[in-house]
Structure 1
Amino acid sequence: MKRLLPLRSAGSRADDGAPPMPGEIRVLIGSAFVIAIGFGIVSPVLPAYARSFDVGVAAASAVVSIFAFFRLAFAPAGGALVTRLGERPVYLTGLLVVAASSLATAFAQDYTQLLVLRGVGGIGSTMFTVSAMALLVRLAPPTIRGRVSSAYASSFLLGGMVGPLLGGALAGFGLRLPFVVYAAALVVAAAVVWLRLQEATPVATGPGDTAAPPPMRLGEAWAHPAYRGALASAFANGWCNFGVRVAVVPQFAVAVHDGTWVAGVALALAALGTAAILPRGGRMTDGLGRRPTVMLGLAVTALGLGLIGWSGSLAALLVLSVFSGVGAGFVNPAQQATVSDVVGNDRSGGSVLSVFQMAQDAGAIAGPVIVGVVADRAGYGWAFTVTGLVAALALLPWLSAPETRPAPAGEVAAG
């Protein structure tokens, strides 16, 4: 087996005595920031670009949805590829697939081409998402998995906040330019990962290669109550924070407060709430435990989004937006660390991780559709109440789930 070559820098050891964050993970975190900026660049212009092909609102929305649909549909194949080929080649291939898709999108000649090319991008997105998770699982020291997960999530969040600002500025030079810039950003990220991780991660060369870690079967993970809890919270997290927050909260803000600026401020405050709490959520995950942290996050999410539809004042809307964002900051690192604990550093978790990602994507796709139907028939108050109930129901599997956090060396010695 190839030896992992550490890329650690001096002074990288945490002040609390925790092991240092491996340099390989720092490279992945930096790459995630670049990827998120690129995705954010195209997000604000994609609907307008689709409308430029003389299609309606529904067709323009389908261009956004098909990316998530193909992510969900290709997730099982992505997990199988990680198990068979290894994390690094699948990660790099996924980045290049999305880059090629984005570049081709910039030169799409009609709506059908645009729709197909965005779907192909969703396939590549699944490839690098699942393989990145697999790398984080295998490379992160068990006692800092929460902090690693929060750092990785923070890089995506911050990149996603910077990207739309750049995208709006680039759109002034034409709706096609942001897609070219996105493609270039992905090529840069792929080049950095290829150079810095070329010998840092073992790559299987064949079925008998001992460099390939043994795969964990999905049935093994499913037998663990904590994994089932993580699937429930992933679905709720996708429904609440990647679906309803992005698609329904802005519509509610505009409908009630009659101003598109309110929608932007509400989303920005939710993102700030998540960004502010993610580091603390990571430390709580590693210190207090995965189970109490994710349960706290689900409870906060349920209250914040469950009540937001009944908020009559602008101040209440904005406060609840921040509050619900805080919930996401607790949920994300805790559930990711739980899945990492279940898989372990010495196993390949391609299929296990792909199903976890599928649960989150399924929630993100189903949430806005179902909540939108409820809003049309019963009003926004009941629509967001349903969202709160989804987060609350996700707590139930965690009530019987064991804590998976490895005991620090000091606790083991004391015990």
Structure 2
Amino acid sequence: MIGRRGRMPGGVVVLGVIALFVGLGFGVIVPVLPLFAGSFRANDLMIGVVVSAFAAVRLATSPFSNRVMGRIGARATLGAGLLLVSLSSALMGVARSYWWLLGWRAVGGVGSALFTVAAMTVLLAVVPERMRGRATGFYQSGFLIGSMAGPAVGGLLARISLQAPFEFYALTLLVAAVLGLSLLPRDAVRAAAGGGADGVPMRRVLRDSRYRAALVANFAQGWNSTGVRNALIPLVITAGLGLSATWTGTVFAVAAVVQTAAIIPVGRFVDTVGRRPAMLAGALVMAVSHMSVPLSGSIGRVVAAMCVYAVGAAAMSTAPAASVGDATGGVEGGSAVAVFSMCNDAGAIIGPLAAGAVSDALGRAPAFALGVALLLASALVSTRMGPMREPAHRPVPRHGDYRHGD
């Protein structure tokens, strides 16, 4: 499975390239989607619904993704998900009303659920325990790099028209689907299906302390990194410090660069030192740095806090996923991956709503404190994690099993 020099399996490399295209396309429409929705005379609430519909539908449909994967296979599920998001994006670009835009955005969430669950299931299946942190980091670095470049490309395309970014997004996802369907190794797909071995029953996975810690960590990660960070930090910078929105983009860009640079070394730490130390340290680093943001008083301190936060976020985005693979052994782990993904989506949806309500009622510092409390809870649960260990039935493919082809 692993080359003599510890190189990434072919399946992980293909998934990383796919993630790059997906992240690039997703980043392209981030600055444009609210403007396009506003062109249909949508108010702020309606725009917020369009933005959140993608994650909400993905959350609702994730439980069914494993059933689809069981029927048509991991590779076909991954490709179908990407093609569905590609189609929905193209149709969003030609939407002639707000409701058509919202509907196709929701359809994209279904495709995203299929792709996300299938890709992570294959990823955790094709690497052994000792390499899951690095493999997860490699895969997620593709998203991060694409997401960093995407907004700049989207801004340039928006000068052509507000529809152009959606067509570009559709094209990048089409390329990603072709790559997945044509280059994902057959043995990688067979490993995700169990390779003839029985998977760990979901009841047993849920009793595993490593899996429970991963669920709590992913919920806290979604709440803070996707929810609170995107909802409140722009307000701290603009309303609190009196700076322009340009500074918000600068802070997020710098933090994204730091997280991208940190994620591979952090993945190595996860594999060599352990999941528990990485999750414990990551949660505490995120908690301290996040709580310092509303108390910073200057843009320099905000930048510094977010850079420190990015290192913790790198740990909290790799170690929990690796722990899911440890709990399932990477064998028929679709259900476990689906629940894991749902926790992040739930945090991303509930987080900004709860943080906004608390901020309106009590102020921004208590709103940040609510997210910090979840991170501290994650750190506490992580202390009870069991050690890394592969289930006895874990099938180990022979070296050289990874062949490209269908």
For residues 362-382 of structure 1, the C-alpha deviation after alignment (integer angstroms, 9 at most, x for no partner) is 111111111111111111111
- 1:13 and 1:282, CA in 2 relative to 1: closer, same or farther beyond 3 A? farther
Alignment of 1:293 onto 2:286: no
- Tell me whether 360-369 or 271-280 shows the greater mean CA deviation: 271-280
Q: Give the match's secondary structure for 1:248.
A: helix
Report the aligned-residue RMSD. 1.9
Number of paired residues?
389
Structure 1 Cα separation of the partners of residues 362 and 303 of structure 2: 23
Cα displacement (A) at 1:227? 0.5
- Tell me whether 143-152 or 265-274 shows the greater mean CA deviation: 265-274
Query: What amino acid is aligned across from residue 404 of structure 1 in structure 2?
Result: M
Structure 2 Cα separation of the partners of residues 116 and 216 of structure 1: 37
Identity, % of aligned pairs? 36
Q: Which residue of structure 2 lines up, in the alignment, with residue 37 of structure 1?
A: 24
Q: Give the match's secondary structure for 1:98.
A: helix
**Candidates 400, 403, 407, aligned match of 2:387:** 403
Q: Which residue of structure 1 lines up, in the alignment, with residue 180 of structure 2?
A: 193
Cα displacement (A) at 1:277? 1.4
Asked whether the 8 Å contact 1:273–1:329 carries over to 2, the reply is: no
Q: Which residue of structure 2 lines up, in the alignment, with residue 72 of structure 1?
A: 59
Asked whether the 8 Å contact 1:215–1:350 carries over to 2, the reply is: no
Q: Describe how 1:243-262 pairs up with structure 2 within 5 A.
A: 243-258=227-242, 259-262=244-247
Q: Which runs of 5+ in 2 are unaligned?
A: 391-406
**Candidates 23, 36, 40, aligned match of 1:53:** 40
Query: What amino acid is aligned across from residue 36 of structure 2 in structure 1?
Result: Y
Cα displacement (A) at 1:23? 1.1
Alignment of 1:234 onto 2:221: no
Q: Give the match's secondary structure for 1:395.
A: helix
Q: Which residue of structure 2 lines up, in the alignment, with residue 331 of structure 1?
A: 316
Structure 2 Cα separation of the partners of residues 57 and 222 of structure 1: 40
Q: Which runs of 5+ in 1 are unaligned?
A: 1-5, 407-415
Structure 2 Cα separation of the partners of residues 210 and 241 of structure 1: 33
Q: Which residue of structure 2 lines up, in the alignment, with residue 272 of structure 1?
A: 257
Query: What amino acid is aligned across from residue 378 of structure 2 in structure 1?
Result: A
Q: Which residue of structure 2 lines up, in the alignment, with residue 102 of structure 1?
A: 89
Cα displacement (A) at 1:141? 2.6
For residues 230-280 of structure 1, the C-alpha deviation after alignment (integer angstroms, 9 at most, x for no partner) is 000000010111211122211221111221122112211221221121112
Structure 2 Cα separation of the partners of residues 343 and 28 of structure 1: 20
Structure 1 Cα separation of the partners of residues 185 and 126 of structure 2: 15
Query: What amino acid is aligned across from residue 116 of structure 1 in structure 2?
Result: G
Structure with higher RCO (Cα < 8 A, 6+ apart): 2
- 1:76 and 1:143, CA in 2 relative to 1: closer, same or farther beyond 3 A? same
- Tell me whether 95-104 or 240-249 shows the greater mean CA deviation: 240-249
Alignment of 1:25 onto 2:12: yes
Structure 2 Cα separation of the partners of residues 376 and 107 of structure 1: 37
Query: What amino acid is aligned across from residue 307 of structure 2 in structure 1?
Result: V
Asked whether the 8 Å contact 1:232–1:394 carries over to 2, the reply is: yes
- 1:177 and 1:399, CA in 2 relative to 1: closer, same or farther beyond 3 A? same
For residues 194-247 of structure 1, the C-alpha deviation after alignment (integer angstroms, 9 at most, x for no partner) is 11126344469xxxx995653443212101011000000000010111211122
Asked whether the 8 Å contact 1:88–1:203 carries over to 2, the reply is: no
Q: TM-score, normalised by structure 2?
A: 0.92
Asked whether the 8 Å contact 1:87–1:131 carries over to 2, the reply is: yes
Alignment of 1:164 onto 2:151: yes
Q: Give the match's secondary structure for 2:251.
A: helix
- Tell me whether 67-76 or 324-333 shows the greater mean CA deviation: 324-333
- 1:136 and 1:55, CA in 2 relative to 1: closer, same or farther beyond 3 A? same
Query: What amino acid is aligned across from residue 66 of structure 2 in structure 1?
Result: G
Q: Describe how 1:105-120 pairs up with structure 2 within 5 A.
A: 105-120=92-107
